[in-house]
A and B are shown apart, each in its own frame.
Chain A
């Protein structure tokens, strides 16, 4: 990805995103730090941080094939999961000291089952994530987080006190606030940062020590806050979807003249649009409330489509979005239906909506360019 801004902070973020085990992770490990991978944005990373461990959002950056994973998973399984599992089988995930899953979707939960059997990660845990967002589900997830906390404490011989947990919550909330500030800059008529660059910043936030990330992000905000951008664009776009961790994909879209100004992605607004309530009486309840009922939800959350659609409507207005690109990993049922519903709703409201199916690795760039180009033209841009 070619950076349009000159920024040391952005360089560090880009580097952290471009490799799986980035220099920040190396430094952390060298200092004796331990790393816990987590496979979904619903994973309560605050618990990991409170344990003194580094939460690392698992990706398959750098993967080139799934030849090992395909002996266990299948061609009708999500390529993100296949690539991640393949990296695990190749030993590329030997740097993590533990991994935590949730039963997010059919592909992810079976990745857990396979990982547990065939990859030698010392600590492996899975949380039962509810499929609804009501109070009984918050209470259920509260118990699940507690079980996870106790499991982590036992394995790593640490004590996660409320005090440490509140500290971790405040730290991650700070990340969320800083990231929202970054997104605020993209509301401008001339945003100082592209969608691809923003993605690098967001992915990096899941791949380095949080305090260090926050410092770098503050630095970046300082560097670009007053920047008058020269980015020319034909249309302001929003990307809606799930696992998109590759700035190069966004680069291809933006190469056609569409500027991605916002998103609803797992490595995007879903991670940071709301804060965990720091005024709650109990930190674990605060976490459960945040993850189940507050943050923009995943399509696997039954009955929450109106809230998700409402979030997209609000964001369209705030960021003056001209059109939506919905990306979907092939074989993802959750996003098949989400794009069906959103496409219907937003097209009826006069918001152009393009659905793009993809595999995890960027391929078919020519076709992608053509489709985006045609989309922009149908928008009259």
Chain B
């Protein structure tokens, strides 16, 4: 096969993924709810973005692979299309048997205890199921798994010649650390300019960050509304907001429009005293990713059976400071701080455990949380080792804590029935619902 033919072969899963997303757009279009209209808007973005990558492959144009936590504002400003290795585990939830088969296959390569989402990414690389980008910006935090995933890529025969850069994350968030990471981001820009031919124009970066700041302001305003009782929206919207503000349309006017629609809908619901659930009885903090798979059954069940609404989740939380766009230096420092200390999961899991605990305290207070759920995804080794501290923190602030122990992507690890049982016993024992 020629190089071009190989790339097209590698695109097949990506095209399937695009088609799955397209089907979701159609499903959301048929839905009358305002919430699902928002889902449709974002899913359309994902379809467009997939099409853009497909076009780049077919037309031999530069594109990269990267992540939300690597200052994607820079990619928007450089007009550089990018995709992430992590999507298959999410979209795979639509076709569970296929996802399960891929999970099983990935276990043969990497064993059982490596995080499922990273294992699937590694599997895609090893099996030639992902389009080879012009360059890769690797992620070295928040966990061990992210670092070693990129080492798999670097040793894979087909991928080893793809230029790769990773910004080294310091363990702290003080001025010294922010300066250090800002230096790493500048090196990242030099790397991207060298390998993609796209240049970073500082005016364009300023424009992008200003737009991104608007998105964060709107998001924060929206999150104020989620403090209302009843909560205007349920699970999923937080992830959607994260997807807009920190993923493929970060700093793009389309994203700002999305937030305005979101805010308008939430304001209306709060004014009318309407919540996602007619009889809201339990307000949850789901302290992890709201994965697509569990969104089809577990989270709706919680709402219907228990009146339990995920008022806040890890990815919906917005402890962001706006970036000062007055100089190049202030922008890089702002991006460094955001990448180290603001973006979800990286924020909590990257550094010391206090980051988990302070967020729990704050969210419980601000959002009138009735109970904290640590799903306990099997890949979160650092979180697993923080369970005792989280439990004690919740005890101190007088809120029940439930640690489940599941796989956010493989429902066979802990089944739906087992999880429902855990929740039911928990709510009953705690006098909730």
Contact = CB atoms under 8 A, between A and B. Distances in A.
Interface of A: 71-74, 76-78, 81, 103, 105-107, 109-114, 117, 126, 128-132, 134, 136-137, 140, 143, 299-300, 302-303, 305, 330-334, 336-338, 340-341, 344-345, 357
Instruction: Identify whether the interface residues of B are mostly helix, strand, loop, or mixed.
Output: helix
B386 A110 contact: yes
Contacts of A77: 381, 384-385
B366 to A, nearest CB: 24
Contacts of A357: 111
Contacts of A330: 113
B385 A341 contact: no
Nearest to B155: A341
Contacts of A105: 144
B386 A333 contact: no
Given A110-B353, A302-B140, A340-B109, A333 B115 contact: yes
A132 B141 CA distance: 12
Contacts of A338: 148, 151
A60 B412 CA distance: 34
The 7 A-B residue pairs with the shortest CB-CB distance in the complex, in nearest-first order: A72-B388, A110-B385, A128-B171, A74-B384, A337-B148, A113-B353, A106-B382
Contact of A303 (B113, B152, B166, B171): B166
B352 interface: yes
B427 interface: no
B159 interface: no
A341 B113 contact: no
A330 B154 CA distance: 24
Given A136-B183, A302-B138, A113 B352 contact: yes
B385 A337 contact: no
B271 interface: no
Contacts of A110: 353, 381-382, 385-386
B172 interface: yes
Contacts of A340: 109-110, 152
B388 A337 contact: no
Question: Which of B144, B176, B177, B389 is the most central at the interface, judged by chain A CB atoms within 10 Å of its CB?
Answer: B144
8 contacts: A76-B381, A109-B352, A114-B389, A126-B352, A130-B168, A140-B168, A305-B151, A337-B122
Contacts of A334: 144, 147-148
A299 B151 contact: yes
Contact of B382 (A71, A109, A300, A303): A109
A336 B150 contact: no
B92 interface: no
Interface string B360-376: 00000000000000001
A72 B352 CA distance: 15
A343 to B, nearest CB: 10
Contacts of B147: 131, 300, 302, 334
Interface in B159-209: 164, 166, 168-172, 176-177, 180, 183-184, 187
Contacts of A136: 168, 180, 183-184, 187
Contacts of B382: 106-107, 109-110
Interface of B: 109-111, 113-115, 122, 138, 140-141, 143-145, 147-152, 154-155, 164, 166, 168-172, 176-177, 180, 183-184, 187, 352-354, 376, 378, 381-382, 384-389, 405
Given A333-B114, A338-B148, A357-B111, 16 more contacts: A73-B384, A74-B376, A74-B387, A77-B385, A109-B171, A113-B354, A114-B388, A128-B171, A132-B140, A136-B168, A299-B148, A300-B144, A302-B168, A305-B154, A334-B147, A334-B148
Contacts of A128: 170-172, 177
B187 to A, nearest CB: 8
Contact of B180 (A109, A117, A140): A140
A143 B140 contact: no
A300 B171 CA distance: 14
Contact of B381 (A71, A72, A140, A331): A331
A114 B385 contact: yes
A76 to B, nearest CB: 5
B389 A72 contact: yes
A292 to B, nearest CB: 11
A71 B183 CA distance: 41
Contacts of B170: 128, 130, 140
Contact of B154 (A72, A134, A303): A303
Given A106-B143, A130-B168, A333-B381, A113 B386 contact: yes
A131 B140 contact: yes
A336 B111 contact: yes
A149 B195 CA distance: 41
A357 B169 CA distance: 29
Contacts of B386: 110, 113
Contacts of A109: 171, 352, 382
Question: Which of B109, B353, B378 is the most central at the interface, judged by chain A CB atoms within 10 Å of its CB?
Answer: B353
Contact of A341 (B145, B151, B387): B151
A77 B145 CA distance: 14
Question: Which of A81, A117, A128, A341 is the most central at the interface, judged by chain B CB atoms within 10 Å of its CB?
Answer: A128
Contacts of A332: 144
B373 to A, nearest CB: 16
A129 B170 CA distance: 8
Contact of B151 (A71, A302, A345): A302
A205 B145 CA distance: 32
B419 to A, nearest CB: 17
Nearest to B118: A333
Nearest to B149: A337
A72 B110 contact: no
A224 to B, nearest CB: 39
A214 B114 CA distance: 41
Nearest to B150: A302
A74 B171 contact: no
B166 A302 contact: yes
Contacts of B152: 337, 340-341
Contacts of B354: 113
A106 B176 CA distance: 23
Nearest to A72: B388
A113 B384 CA distance: 12
Nearest to B157: A344
A293 to B, nearest CB: 13
A333 B143 contact: yes
B387 A137 contact: no
A337 B110 contact: yes
Contacts of B172: 128
Contacts of B384: 73-74, 76-77
B381 A103 contact: no
A50 to B, nearest CB: 24
A130 B183 CA distance: 14
